Amino acid sequence: TTRVLTGITTSGTPHLGNYAGAIRPSIEASLRPDVDAFYFMADYHALIKCDDPQRVARSRLEIAATWLAAGLDPEKVTFYRQSDIPEIPELCWMLSCVTAKGLMNRAHAYKASVDQNTDKGVDADDGVTMGLFSYPVLMAADILMFNAHKVPVGRDQIQHLEMARDIAQRFNHLYGGGQDFFVLPEVQIDDEVATLPGLDGRKMSKSYDNTIPLFEGGAKATRAAVMRIVTDSRQPGEPKDAEGSHLYTIYRAFARPEQSAQFRRALEEGLGWGEAKEQLFALIEDELGPMRERYDALMASPERIEEILQAGALKARALATPLMERLREAVGLRSPL
Ligand code: TYM
């Protein structure tokens, strides 16, 4: 069997990029009989980006309800909250002790902060916390804890996966003694949707405030966001450059290939942007509409979600506890003299 694992940070409302890049492919993978899937809410990661407790709690509920509404079967998938697994921060510490600081210096998110600070002329590490700096180590602990073979993610996470492999290799080399503790995880990326653009054409992201929400605010909010997708000023009747428009890129992430080809021709033959947006919204709603009903029902019963997460934590810890025992021994914290 193949172990598949992925997580979503609970710092905001789930959006179309999370869905197309991570949730949808993960659900598809979890349905295969030879797959053992681990999906979780990365709430420790949320603390790095967000110091608003209410937002973290709300986001956790929204993301859990989204996974379940999208078809995650908690009987088959191990579905849990990161902070319910105390072995994860413990493993994170062990991994921190073998991770080169120089490796973390190269992390994109950290480097982006340093570059911004340098542009502003302030201290390079201004506003950078240890949480942000060691973010990739925590993510490596998430993945290595369950020895995941495949990690379905969007393109923005590739570097984190490479770092997880580096860290795993280093630990295996130092402590394995010929036997490997950790599998080297591989990214799994769907090229069609590896980076879903947002309203302004940049990567759809909470931090750019350019997202199309999945379920929150109802179909109305999704429609309103679709109508705000930025296009060029070509009028109905004028040929459009489909390939050059992110509206078309978003369309492709939800359509069958023949449907995309047809939409593309219509744009090239002068379909107006307003009408194109209506068609895109209808396409998205076809897929999300039925899920939205389940989502609303789940959001109305948070205790049900909590039960599911507690059951998931038990399953996850049944694996994490014995692994940590072996690791404590391997590094000398428990072994007899
Ligand atoms: P996060 O919460 O930023 O995003 C969750 C998932 O959604 C994908 N994604 C996108 N995919 C395509 N287009 C986009 N515009 C887009 N925006 C987001 C992300 O690539 C991701 O797959 N560090 C992770 C959470 C995490 C994790 C893990 C993932 C923590 N531990 C272990 C995998 C394995 C993050 O912040 O994702």
Find the domain containing 178 and state its range.
Answer: 2-99+134-195+301-331
Q: How far is CA 280 from CA 69, 112, 193, 206, 245, in A?
A: 21, 33, 16, 21, 13
Task: Report the CATH number at residue 55.
Answer: 3.40.50.620
Q: How many CA atoms lie within 13 A of 60 on its CB side?
A: 26
Residue 111 domain-assigned?
no
Inside any domain, residue 115: no
Residue list, annotated binding site for ATP: 9-11, 17-18, 154-156, 196, 203-207
Averaged pLDDT, 162-170: 97
* 317 lies in some domain: yes
* 85 Cα–ligand 1 center, Å: 20
In this structure, the answer to whether residues 152 and 32 fall within a common structural domain is: yes
- d(CA 178, ligand 1 centre) in Å: 33
Same domain, residue pair 75 and 171: yes
Instruction: Tell me: pLDDT of 336 over 80.
Output: no
Token readout for 149 is 């073979």
| Cα 87–chain centre separation | 21
Q: Are residues 95 and 244 in the same domain?
A: no
**Residue 236 domain-assigned (yes or no):** yes
Task: Specify the 3-state DSSP secondary structure of 62.
Answer: helix
| Average pLDDT value over all residues in the chain | 96
Decide: 7 in ligand 1 pocket, CB within 6 A. yes
CA distance 215 to 64: 12
Binding residues for L-tryptophan: 142
pLDDT in tens, 241-252: 999 999 999 999
Residue 58 lies in a domain: yes
Q: How many domains does the chain have?
A: 2
C-alpha 134 – ligand 1 centre gap (Å): 16
Cα–Cα distances in angstroms (integers) from residue 209 to residues 128, 186, 204, 220, in the given order: 21, 30, 8, 18
User: Do 144 and 250 share a domain, yes or no?
Assistant: no
Same-domain pairing of 42 and 180: yes
pLDDT (mean) for 160-175: 97
Identify the CATH number of the domain in which residue 266 sits. Answer: 1.10.240.10
Same domain for 175 and 33, yes or no, is: yes
Contact present, 124 and 118 (Cβ < 8 Å): yes
Q: Is the CB of 142 under 6 A from ligand 1?
A: yes
Q: How far from 158 is each of 93, 152, 249, 254, CA to CA, in Å?
A: 22, 10, 21, 23
What residues have CB less than 8 Å from 240, skipping those under 6 apart? 232, 234, 267, 268, 270, 271, 273, 276
What pLDDT does 207 receive?
87
pLDDT tens-digit profile of 286-319?
999 999 999 999 999 999 999 999 999 999 999 9
Burial 185-215 (b: 16+ CB within 10 A, else e): bebbbbeebbbbbbbebebbbbeeebbbbbb
* pLDDT at residue 55 greater than cutoff 70: yes
Closest protein CA for atom 20 of ligand 1: 154
Kindly state whether residues 84 and 172 are assigned to the same domain.
yes
Calpha distance 167→184 (Å, rounded): 9
Where helices occur in the chain by DSSP H, the ranges are: 16-18, 24-30, 43-49, 53-69, 87-96, 101-105, 108-120, 130-133, 135-145, 158-175, 218-227, 246-252, 257-268, 273-299, 302-331
Which of 6, 78, 156 most suits a substitution to test ligand 1, by most atoms within 8 Å of the C-beta?
156
Q: Please give the pLDDT value at position 194.
A: 82
Domain presence at residue 18: yes
pLDDT band at 337 (very low <50, low <70, confident <90, very high): low
21 and 42 together in one domain? yes
CA-closest residue to ligand 1 atom 26? 7
Distance CA 31, CA 68 (A): 13
> 223 and 281 share a domain?
yes
Percent of the chain with pLDDT over 70: 99
ipTM greater than 0.90, yes or no?
Answer: yes
187 shares its domain with 285: no
Determine the average pLDDT of the residues in 183-206: 92
**pLDDT(40) > 90:** yes
Q: 270 in a domain, yes or no?
A: yes
Q: Give per-residue pLDDT as tens, 125-145.
A: 999 999 999 999 999 999 999
| Residue 14 located in a structural domain | yes
The answer to whether residues 10 and 70 belong to one domain is yes
CA of 87 to the centre of ligand 1 (A): 22
* 34 shares its domain with 142: yes
Distance 33 CA to ligand 1 centre (A): 25
